[in-house]
Amino acid sequence: GQIVYLADYRPTDFVLERVDLTFELHPTETKVEARLIFHRREGTDRQAPLVLDGDELTLSGLLLDQTEVSAAQYEATAESLTVRDLPESAPFELTITTIINPEANTQLMGLYRTGGIYCTQCEAEGFRRITYFPDRPDVLAPYTVNIIADKAANPLLLSNGNFLGGAGYGEGKHFAAWFDPHPKPSYLFALVAGDLGVVEDTFVTASGREVALKIYVEHGKEPRAAYAMDALKRSMKWDEERFGREYDLDIFMIVAVSDFNMGAMENKGLNVFNDKYVLADPEIATDADYANIEAIIAHEYFHNWTGNRITCRDWFQLCLKEGLTVYRDHEFSADQRSRPVKRIAEVRHLKSEQFPEDGGPLAHPVRPTKYREINNFYTTTVYEKGSEVTRMIATLLGRDLFKQGTDLYFDRHDGQAVTIEDFIKCFEDASGRDLTQFSLWYHQAGTPLVTASGTYDAGGRSFTLSLEQMMPVTPGQTTKEPMHIPLRMALFAEDGALLTPTSVTGAELTDDVLHLTERAQTVVFHGIPSRPVLSLNRSFSTPINLQFSQSAGDMALIARYETDHFARWQALIDLGLPNLLQAARDARQGIAVTCDAAFVDALLAAAKDESLEPAFRAQALALPSEADIARELGGDNDPDAIHAGRQAILALIAEAGKDVFTALYDNMQTPGPFSPDAASAGRRALRNAAFTYLSQSDNAPARAKAAYDAANNMTDLSAALTILAHRFPETAEAKAALENFHDRFAENALVIDKWFAIQAAIPGAATLERIQGLMETPLFKRTNPNRMRALVGTFAFANPTGFGRADGAGYRFLAQEILDIDQRNPQLAARILTSMRSWRLLEPVRADHARSALMQIERAGGLSTDVRDIVDRILK
Ligand code: BAL
Ligand code: ZN
């Protein structure tokens, strides 16, 4: 794998006018005939050869305008096809035939088979595993696709666009033809064939066009697609209302498959989904699963405009479609559910996934300038930080100008492959605002650190706020410019009333947004009658680390009075965090752990505050994770001490709040039949949060066992099983529940993934042996990405004490697994390996073990580019 640089971008020498594909499907020998019409781009070298991309391909036929091409005129390797002496200006047709083996395709890129179904995954560079092609996102063309296959095994033949027709085709075969009129890049191509059940519905667009909606799932699972269908219709409506975007084909299809590297894929008119994000019913899906399905259905649907109608010029621009589309799906979920609770969940995720990436060896800008393997850039930085940057544009411009900016973007760039600069220009043109400094957010990696301190001058009735920003050094970026940081803020009086300054000097303040644009700024708020309590970075308006020493009393006041509920939650977390950090230090020294009463009181007050929605109260009760604590400690970390300290804090809160938690556990039932709506989910979340605390003070598993037996939905069942397995792993009750769960759901892969994941996350050194044992059981499937992520992924990403056990055996186990997975599925191997990205924050003995394990991978022969890229960067 060679390094690709943004600076090297140039358009293709040839323009692709049309694509006509014919597939004769066969499990091991699928014949692909690609008829491509090209002409030479004006102004390019008249002699230049046409060079097409390939990946593990063998050419079996090549025609130029229906005539065989002589051996002297072309050169074919597995990775490329070069054709010389092509017409200087006239269009020409190239007919390329390849034979591919879907059955042997374990990478799950290109055309492969899963559960008897043919399906494709082409983003980013999978299409070149199907045929030789200019496989880059700036080559857009309309596609016609003909599919020929055995009729009995493949009654269903699907591709992008609108259905043209089908017919019988010789002995036992049939064919279908599809035409997609919207020019698209190859990464959006899709083909699905096989025998599946379907759920059908229709949607009438704002302009009155009827669209057929179809979700294809395994036979018998149709009822489980009902929620996804509902989410799809809500998404289509929301995109019309909020962004003025209508759907543009006669049909929209979703196919759920069980072997899939990603969550889902937005192929034009034919989304392919990991079935984890389609299938749900109360018996198999948790509330979190329902929320994920809703968000991912929306995300892929929203790509129809942000990604498909307007796509990326090159893969460096990935955030153009991903950051914007994540922002859109976040807004959708916020509108469908509770906005503050959604925001809290987003920020939790951002801090626990993206912040460690941005603060470690894999840090890269939202818009990178080089890559060795593009698959490794489908990161939380591109996606989630990309979304945060889009959110900040909306914050800077306000809702109306932001809408005008997106309108302009859709209008100006429809049908094009564009860049981040094109995107930003639309907002500048719509608003008249200069976003030059702001756009550094796309180019400078690392999480900014903002330091704040305030002083009140009673005589002058003014409050002075000193702000400083610091950009950390990241790989390849040592010097950085100050950023434009939009900080939402408010000032409160001691009684919780909002204080509005008569004037502000030293910074621009628009509505509640304070603009920090210099390295250091002193802002004075005039006309403040009493000492104010500052609430800074409300709604997490900017993705920064904030250092602001505030008294416990002030934080408690924000936790109680802020009208921005996100800020209330943040204040509770900020109150708790020092306790968790100190607890980890104390546990390491063998000192008894204590916890500030101010924090416990504020937490319990929030927990029982009936004016707050249950989902919010549940979020307040969920303390920062062990990984979050490790990140905040910043180095020399001992996972066992962090775990012990956090458990001790949980126990102290549990003890102090016994009555509160008992009452919540008893009162937060959800009577009546199960409903996945946000309010019911919130009650379950709060009840299970209370239950987690109660199980801290329980010294017997009886309550958890009773809860397991009483559960009538997967949220409660898996919560009870988690408590039994994590808190009482060696008891007969835990063993019986695990066995019961296994036997009850053995036929249901998605639920068995939970069974594996819950066990992979059991704290403590013994879990490694458990995992090794689980790998020997018949239900363990090495070839299934969901299963590997559930067991190996959960262990490495979400079990600091088990994975990080002091003897290093967890790291050695991972190294072996990575090398093994890499043989089949490099993309999956590289993804799981990123779990090692924070190894330098470990205490020296563990860090040494981690380094040795990484070096074991690095030294192995035959590594994929995917794994090579990650291991080299992590070790650097
Ligand atoms: N484009 C890959 C899957 C997604 O982000 O929607
Ligand atoms: Zn996406």
Distance of alpha carbon 258 from alpha carbon 786, whole angstroms: 8
Q: Is 265 in the pocket of ligand 1 (CB under 6 A)?
A: yes
Backbone dihedral angles phi then psi of residue 601, each to the nearest 5 degrees:
-65, -45
Residues 130, 119: contact at Cβ < 8 Å?
Answer: no
Strands, E, within 54-172: which ranges?
A: 59-64, 67-68, 74-76, 80-83, 92-100, 110-114, 117-121, 141-150, 156-159, 162-168
Region at 248 (left for phi over 0; alpha for psi -120 to 50; beta for the rest): alpha
Q: Is 331 in the pocket of ligand 1 (CB under 6 A)?
A: no
Give residue 416 CA to ligand 2 midpoint distance, Å. 18
Residue whose CB lies within 8 A of the most ligand 1 atoms, among 109, 121, 123, for a mutation test: 123
Give residue 266 CA to ligand 1 midpoint distance, Å. 6
Give residue 326 CA to ligand 1 midpoint distance, Å. 10
Ligand (nearest to CA of 137)? 1
Distance of alpha carbon 250 from alpha carbon 204, whole angstroms: 10
From the list 580, 542, 576, the residue with the least C-alpha distance to 559 is 576
Q: 52-73: buried (b, 16+ CB within 10 Å) or exposed (e) per residue?
A: bbbbebebeebebeeeebeeee
Give residue 299 CA to ligand 1 midpoint distance, Å. 8
Q: If you average pLDDT over every residue of the chain, what do you get?
A: 98
Residues forming a β-bridge with 253: 214, 270
Residue 58 pLDDT class (50, 70, 90 cuts) = very high
Count the Cβ atoms, other than its own, within 10 Å of residue 777. Answer: 10
Query: Quick one: which atom of ligand 1 is closest to the CA of 326?
Result: 5
**Torsion of Cα atoms, 429 then 385 then 350 then 353, to 10°:** 170
Among 123, 266, 300, 817, the active-site one is 300
Work out the average pLDDT over 314-338.
98
Q: Is 841 in the pocket of ligand 1 (CB under 6 A)?
A: no
Distance of alpha carbon 343 from alpha carbon 330, whole angstroms: 8
Residue 698 pLDDT class (50, 70, 90 cuts) = confident
pLDDT at 101: 98
Q: Is 123 in the pocket of ligand 1 (CB under 6 A)?
A: yes
CA distances from 675 to 215, 217, 222 (A): 22, 22, 18
Q: Is 322 in the pocket of ligand 1 (CB under 6 A)?
A: yes
Residues 65, 92: contact at Cβ < 8 Å?
Answer: yes
Written as one letter, the residue type at 377 is F
Q: Is 262 in the pocket of ligand 1 (CB under 6 A)?
A: yes
Distance of alpha carbon 683 from alpha carbon 364, whole angstroms: 39
Give residue 846 CA to ligand 1 midpoint distance, Å. 35
Distance of alpha carbon 297 from alpha carbon 433, whole angstroms: 34
Distance of alpha carbon 51 from alpha carbon 54, whole angstroms: 10
pLDDT at 669: 94
The complex scores an ipTM of 0.99
Written as one letter, the residue type at 802 is G
Say whether 218 is catalytic.
Answer: no
Residue whose CB lies within 8 A of the most ligand 1 atoms, among 121, 299, 304, 329, for a mutation test: 299
Query: Quick one: which atom of ligand 1 is closest to the CA of 322?
Result: 5
Work out the average pLDDT over 328-336.
98
Q: How far from the centroid of its chain's Cα atoms is residue 781's Cα?
A: 24
Count the Cβ atoms, other than its own, within 10 Å of residue 292. Answer: 17
Tokens of 573: 């977390």
Residue 604: partners with Cβ closer than 8 Å, 6 or more residues away: 653, 656, 657, 660
pLDDT at 699: 87
Written as one letter, the residue type at 731 is T
Kindly state the helix (H) or strand (E) to which residue 487 belongs, with its residue range. Answer: strand 485-492
Query: Do the bridges between strand 251-257 and strand 270-274 make them parallel or antiparallel, or are there none, so unpaired?
Result: parallel
Tokens of 299: 């995300």
Query: Quick one: which atom of ligand 1 is closest to the CA of 262?
Result: 3
Kindly state the helix (H) or strand (E) to which residue 855 belongs, with its residue range. Answer: helix 844-859
Give residue 443 CA to ligand 2 midpoint distance, Å. 20
Count the Cβ atoms, other than its own, within 10 Å of residue 783. Answer: 13
State percent of the chain over pLDDT 70: 100
- Residue of minimum CA distance from atom 4 in ligand 1: 265
Strands, E, within 587-697: which ranges?
A: none
Residues 325, 391: contact at Cβ < 8 Å?
Answer: no
With 80 as the cut, is the pLDDT of residue 1 above it? no
Q: Is 300 in the pocket of ligand 1 (CB under 6 A)?
A: yes
pLDDT at 812: 98
Residue whose CB lies within 8 A of the most ligand 1 atoms, among 186, 260, 262, for a mutation test: 262
Strands, E, within 128-250: which ranges?
A: 141-150, 156-159, 162-168, 173-184, 191-194, 197-204, 210-217
**Torsion of Cα atoms, 711 then 712 then 715 then 717, to 10°:** 40
pLDDT digit string, tens, across residues 642-656: 999 999 999 999 999
With 90 as the cut, is the pLDDT of residue 697 above it? no
Residue whose CB lies within 8 A of the most ligand 1 atoms, among 261, 378, 379, for a mutation test: 378
Rounded to 10 deg, the angle between the 639-656 and 658-667 helix axes is 80
Residue 225 pLDDT class (50, 70, 90 cuts) = very high
Distance of alpha carbon 652 from alpha carbon 658, whole angstroms: 10
Distance of alpha carbon 408 from alpha carbon 392, whole angstroms: 18
Strands, E, within 324-445: which ranges?
A: 370-371, 417-418
Residues 814, 836: contact at Cβ < 8 Å?
Answer: yes
Q: Which residue has the tokens 């899963």?
A: 114
CA distances from 582 to 592, 599, 635, 653 (A): 11, 14, 14, 15
- Which 8-state DSSP code applies to residue 842? B
Give residue 307 CA to ligand 1 midpoint distance, Å. 9
Work out the average pLDDT over 562-589.
98
Domains of the chain plus CATH, in order, are 1-194 (2.60.40.1730), 196-277 (3.30.2010.30), 310-548 (1.10.390.10), 552-697 (1.25.50.10), 746-876 (1.25.50.10)
From the list 61, 62, 58, the residue with the least C-alpha distance to 50 is 62
Q: Is 299 in the pocket of ligand 1 (CB under 6 A)?
A: yes
Rounded to 10 deg, the angle between the 749-760 and 732-745 helix axes is 160
pLDDT digit string, tens, across residues 62-110: 999 999 999 999 999 999 999 999 999 999 999 999 999 999 999 999 9
Distance of alpha carbon 352 from alpha carbon 764, whole angstroms: 21
Q: Is 384 in the pocket of ligand 1 (CB under 6 A)?
A: no
Q: Which residue has the tokens 């994000």?
A: 277
Q: Is 357 in the pocket of ligand 1 (CB under 6 A)?
A: no
Backbone dihedral angles phi then psi of residue 4, each to the nearest 5 degrees:
-105, 135
Residues 599, 576: contact at Cβ < 8 Å?
Answer: yes
Query: Quick one: which atom of ligand 1 is closest to the CA of 307?
Result: 1
Query: Quick one: which atom of ligand 1 is closest to the CA of 300?
Result: 6
Length of the chain: 876
Ligand (nearest to CA of 266)? 1
pLDDT digit string, tens, across residues 27-51: 999 999 999 999 999 999 999 999 9
Distance of alpha carbon 390 from alpha carbon 435, whole angstroms: 12
- Residue of minimum CA distance from atom 3 in ligand 1: 265
Distance of alpha carbon 558 from alpha carbon 561, whole angstroms: 5
Distance of alpha carbon 96 from alpha carbon 473, whole angstroms: 48
Q: In what order do the strands lie in the sheet with 92-100?
A: 67-68, 59-64, 92-100, 30-40, 14-24, 141-150, 173-184, 162-168
Residue 613 pLDDT class (50, 70, 90 cuts) = very high
pLDDT digit string, tens, across residues 475-497: 999 999 999 999 999 999 999 99
Query: Quick one: which atom of ligand 1 is closest to the CA of 296?
Result: 6
Give residue 154 CA to ligand 2 midpoint distance, Å. 29
DSSP string, 227-250: HHHHHHHHHHHHHHHHH-----SS
